[in-house]
Structure 1
Amino acid sequence: MRRSPLLPIFLTVFVDVLGLTLVLPLLPFYAEHFGASELVVGVLAASYAVCQLVSGPILGRISDRVGRKPTLLASQTGTFFGFLVIGSATSLPMLFVGRIIDGLTAGNLTIAQAYISDVTRPEERTRAFGLIGIAFGSGFLLGPAITGELASRFGYGAPAYGAAALSLTSILLTATLLPAKPIALAAPPEAAAAEPARASGASVIGRGDAFRRFFDRPLPRRRLLEFFAFTLSFSTLIGGLALFLERRFAFGVKETGYLYAFSGLVGGSIQGGAIGRLAKRFGEERLALIGFGTMVVGYGLLGVAYALPTLLVLVGIGAFGSAVVRPAVTTLLTKSVGRDEQGAALGVSQSLASLAQIVGPIGAGWLIEHRALSAYGLMAAGFAAVGVLLGLQKLPVGEPVES
């Protein structure tokens, strides 16, 4: 394990996600503490995504040109300062400033995914991307539960300061453990041939050119749209979940944190061992379809959940779906483009994710503000259903399949 190039990236992503999940369930309650309405809570979540929309493709291209490690360090430093601002917030505008700082430098996950693509063979990539899922699942298991305890004991600022400390730890891990230049586990000859093009900056393309390059080709376009549908569904759910729980079940930050932890336990269990076997048995395409389908069921039935056992079952079903869709679709995306295009393609996917993270939370906040709690769940399920429809479409005759 000490020699695996995936170990340091897993550790850095895990610590990053742990910090993120300390803040994620906190922000709606923190914002309401300063007088924010449900819609403003959604706008707060969207402000991060607006900034990420600008920064994501830029960071993806920079990482292709100057390397993953320095770009990741810069991104993590921005996250660190953003958490510090949130922890010291004395007003709602300060919360917005903290999220904006974090959003403008938000490239941690995209760069980590590009790094994984650098050091894995295509057939191993779903399992490797499952490491990101393990990091998310572990972070969602530990972070929200810790948030509830810290916020109830020391106030709303304490979890953000804890997240800042974790972000600083992540910076140190990246600086000391991550190789400056990724070394492929078993790089195929065509990958080695692509290195001169990458080194010369041939893969660095403008954002508009990147969208056109990938959306003009049926296979990358389909994968990007599937990723967009997934992120739109998931961000709608997460963007309104704390508000939904507060109004339907009278949950506070502590109870909400524990529910997030339960979701993380389910997702981490799937991605910790089962994702590789599931990918081999069903293939990434069918696995993505199964995941989208379970998201439709889990999210769509939230409106009929009035008892805690029903809520836990639906959250568990939805958590399974998101746990398998993310690595499957990400793998399919990286397989649909050339090796020297992967950083740019993941940057475009991050731009689409940012768009989703703008629309989802604002839509969820607006619906919950108008007490349309059932419609909130159906909205998240509807976006997942789009992913099902995309997965069922047949590619044009003659379109190459992923290698």
Structure 2
Amino acid sequence: MKDNAVPQKPEDKLDFKKILPVFIIILIDLLGLTIIIPLMSFYAASFGANATTIGLLGAAYPAMQVVGAPILGRLSDRFGRKPILIISQIGTLLGFILLGFADAIWMLFAARILDGLSGANISTAQAVISDITTENNRTQGLGLIGAAFGLGFVVGPVIAFLSLAISGNNYHVPAFVAAGFSLISIIMTTVMLKETHPARKSVSLTARKEISLQLFFATLKKPMVGFLLVMIFVYQIAFGGFQQLLSLFTLNRLGLNASGNSIIFVWVGILVVSVQGY
């Protein structure tokens, strides 16, 4: 039987040597985030925050990302991916340090707002992967970010559980551990990551905005694209609510503390990793 399969071009094969440093950097970076996520509600509750305040705290980070990410993305086109990624990671590091020193609810908000404004780590890493992949293997390359998320959700909560167990449920300790992983990611980015998009003076920072409400609504009108964007939006609402409020639910219904909640997030991570190939 004749094989009609089109042979894969050498340039279309995913170069794992190029992708591996990005994957490791993303994974280490995400470990800091996934250490914190299972504990934030408990951390806020320890300062007397109610469910509404905890929900607002959870919304602070993504809300600030909406503001900061497009600006940092534009800057990465102008000045290169590597310096902007490092700046973003430094913001995350400072946010975790502030979280570790927090002694009032406003400091938790300040930490998450700072992290959100500088939170272009993943989007910049996605841009790096897009730079070093072709149209035919880009999906496979970007899929590794999903795998890093899954592994982060497995390993991060385990580290959170261990740090709580060692510290006697001191919520400040996991924050400093997360800061440690963030510092490692900065060092790895500085040493391991090669610039994939050199600075370009031709990219104007004062040019017409690429993102506008007019363009947004025009994109939504496109049949398949609009549908997918709405589905992603609905999914993010559901998953975001799950992340932020699950710990309150398990505490009130099941009596689980922060350590028990970390184990649930480990299971979530295992499920995410399991379905990545499908």
Name the residue aligned to 1:200.
Answer: 202
Alpha-carbon distance between aligned partners in 2 of 1:147 and 1:104, rounded to the nearest angstrom? 24
1:174 matched to 2:186? The reply is no
Shift of 1:204: 7.8
Shift of 1:215: 3.6
Name the residue aligned to 1:246.
Answer: 251
CA contact (8 A) 1:5 1:182 kept: no
Shift of 1:153: 2.9
Please give the per-residue CA displacement for 1:289-341, whole angstroms capped at 9, x wherever unaligned. xxxxxxxxxxxxxxxxxxxxxxxxxxxxxxxxxxxxxxxxxxxxxxxxxxxxx
Name the residue aligned to 2:109.
Answer: 96
Alpha-carbon distance between aligned partners in 2 of 1:120 and 1:9, rounded to the nearest angstrom? 12
Where 2:247 maps in the other structure, the secondary structure is: helix
Root-mean-square deviation over aligned CA pairs = 2.4
1:268 matched to 2:273? The reply is yes
Residue of structure 1 aligned with 2:22, choices 3, 6, 9: 9
CA contact (8 A) 1:214 1:221 kept: no
Higher relative contact order (CA 8 A, sep 6+): 2
CA contact (8 A) 1:29 1:253 kept: yes
Name the residue aligned to 1:310.
Answer: none
Equivalent pairs counted in the alignment come to 260
CA contact (8 A) 2:157 2:263 kept: yes
Shift of 1:214: 4.9
Change (3 A) 1:209 1:92: closer
Name the residue aligned to 1:25.
Answer: 38
Change (3 A) 1:202 1:214: farther
1:41 matched to 2:54? The reply is yes
Runs (5+) with no aligned partner, structure 1: 184-194, 279-403
Q: Which moved more, 1:154-163 or 1:56-65?
A: 56-65
Name the residue aligned to 2:214.
Answer: 212
TM value normalised by structure 2: 0.86
Alpha-carbon distance between aligned partners in 2 of 1:222 and 1:201, rounded to the nearest angstrom? 32
Alpha-carbon distance between aligned partners in 2 of 1:17 and 1:264, rounded to the nearest angstrom? 12
Please give the per-residue CA displacement for 1:236-285, whole angstroms capped at 9, x wherever unaligned. 221211111111211111111011011111212332xx2xxx4xxxxxxx
Where 2:113 maps in the other structure, the secondary structure is: helix
Shift of 1:84: 0.4
Give the 5 Å matches for 1:319-398: none
Change (3 A) 1:148 1:106: same
Residue of structure 2 aligned with 1:157, choices 172, 175, 185: 172
Alpha-carbon distance between aligned partners in 2 of 1:182 and 1:222, rounded to the nearest angstrom? 31
1:230 matched to 2:235? The reply is yes
Where 2:137 maps in the other structure, the secondary structure is: helix
Name the residue aligned to 1:304.
Answer: none
Name the residue aligned to 1:372.
Answer: none
Alpha-carbon distance between aligned partners in 2 of 1:117 and 1:225, rounded to the nearest angstrom? 23
Alpha-carbon distance between aligned partners in 1 of 2:21 and 2:208, rounded to the nearest angstrom? 30
Identity %, equivalent residues: 38
1:255 matched to 2:260? The reply is yes
Where 1:180 maps in the other structure, the secondary structure is: coil
Change (3 A) 1:24 1:205: farther
Shift of 1:203: 9.5
CA contact (8 A) 1:51 1:100 kept: yes
Name the residue aligned to 1:306.
Answer: none
Residue of structure 2 aligned with 1:81, choices 89, 94, 116: 94
Name the residue aligned to 1:114.
Answer: 127
CA contact (8 A) 2:128 2:196 kept: no
CA contact (8 A) 2:68 2:117 kept: yes
CA contact (8 A) 1:86 1:157 kept: yes
CA contact (8 A) 2:131 2:196 kept: no
Q: Which structure is higher in helix share?
A: 1
Runs (5+) with no aligned partner, structure 2: 1-13
TM value normalised by structure 1: 0.60
Change (3 A) 1:44 1:81: same
Letter in 2 for 1:225: V
Change (3 A) 1:106 1:125: same
Where 1:4 maps in the other structure, the secondary structure is: helix
Shift of 1:166: 0.3
Name the residue aligned to 1:371.
Answer: none
Letter in 1 for 2:136: E
Change (3 A) 1:98 1:203: closer
Residue of structure 2 aligned with 1:62, choices 52, 57, 75: 75
Change (3 A) 1:61 1:175: same
Change (3 A) 1:92 1:131: same
